Amino acid sequence: MTTPLRLGIAGLGTVGVGVVKIVQQHADLLEKRAGRPVVITAVSARSKDKDRGVDLSKYAWETDPVQLAQRDDVDVFVEVMGGHEGPAKDATAAAIEAGKDVVSANKALLAIHGQSLAEAAETAGRVIRFEAAVAGGIPVVKALTEGLAANEISRVIGVMNGSCNYILTRMESAGLSYEAVFDEANNLGYLEADPELDVGGIDAGHKLALLASIAFGTQVDFDAVELEGIGAVTIEDIHQAADMGYKIKLLGVAQMTGRGLEQRMSPCLVPDTSPLGQLEGGTNMVVLEGDAVSQVVLRGPGAGEGPTASAVMGDVMDIARGIRISTFGQPANTLRKARAARAAIPAPYYLRLQLLDKPGALAKVAHALGEAGISIDRMRQYGHLDTAAPVLIVTHKTTRAALEEALEAFHTTGVVSGDPVAIRIEEL
């Protein structure tokens, strides 16, 4: 009889329970496709008595995930607890030391400690797979490490947080404020326990850092990701961007430039006719651009029990089949440390400012832009609000440095009220 692949699952929340369901419901299918049985031998979670809607009685129970990782009857340690320190980190390290392969859904752990864990695993002859950590059910890690392995990747761009995409599309469709939709999403359970992980771009930034490492052969460096959340986006921005043919998305972009590796997660405008512009609700989309393949668009559910558990099991099946790939697509000791670079590639920008009702106000703003070397592509002025009127400007391509010079100059004109909003327009 073929030796089964034995799983130890640490964490029995939404994803862990989803993995249990797949193994229980599709045992025959998994065995046929893997060429060997895939079974669960032990599990671990904080509470043994909690009703999780699945039968766990046949599995050994460990309160301590480190003990689970060290069990002799576990071949693959499945880490779906979350958190970049504490039990998740300790148990993953213990699994590698004990000679286990690791399948993880933990984006934070790998974005922060991925290099050291990958080096430890590869030194021990083990693998770490993490498809479920990035974009839920979309097989983007597999696409980069396998399907597009012969390509020199030029850019990775995408919507990598479904909660933010839900908020932004809901604001537009319902005409609601950011605050109203944030509360709605929170009440529906769409946001993390700490919502800033979602709306602040941190969750998506972790995912971008992991993809950038694979795409460009660099050590994962979350600290180098420029982060800006969606909290400053107003319903006025959404309506006015739509009026000019754009949608606002929390967009992750990673690309290698002459100055170094650019990684940023921030609100951007994209053409409403583009694949990203048409992305609605909690769906994720990642666009990969390579020299041989040109452009590949991957779209699918970015979170949830089924999609994320599916991604976990995809990695488990690879291990069961004997497919062993370096954590970040090439040996960890060959990954180079990239020089971090801010967004230097010129792009058009969307500007929204409140212009005071004073003679020559528009001329002063145009002069400030001109002094910074920025030309205006389009400009619209909307109805007055008390003593000020909202003015919308779309610039021609410019650098972030030039834009910041112009924004600073606006404060000295005496005709701009409050802080202008500046959002990059990403071309696809």
Catalytic residue list: 207
Q: What is the three-state SS of the chain? A: CCCCEEEEEECCCHHHHHHHHHHHHCHHHHHHHHCCCEEEEEEECCCCCCCCCCCCCCCEEECCHHHHHCCCCCCEEEECCCCCCCHHHHHHHHHHHCCCEEEECCHHHHHHHHHHHHHHHHHCCCCEECHHHCCCCCCHHHHHHHHCCCCCEEEEEEECCHHHHHHHHHHHHHCCCHHHHHHHHHHCCCCCCCCHHHHCCHHHHHHHHHHHHHHHCECCCHHHCEECCCCCCCHHHHHHHHHCCEEEEEEEEEEEECCEEEEEEEEEEEECCCCCCCCCCCEEEEEEEECCCEEEEEEEECCCHHHHHHHHHHHHHHHHHCCCCCCCCCCHHHCECCCEECCCCCECEEEEEEEECCCCHHHHHHHHHHHCCCCEEEEEECCCECCEEEEEEEECCECHHHHHHHHHHHCCCCCEEEEEEEEEECCC
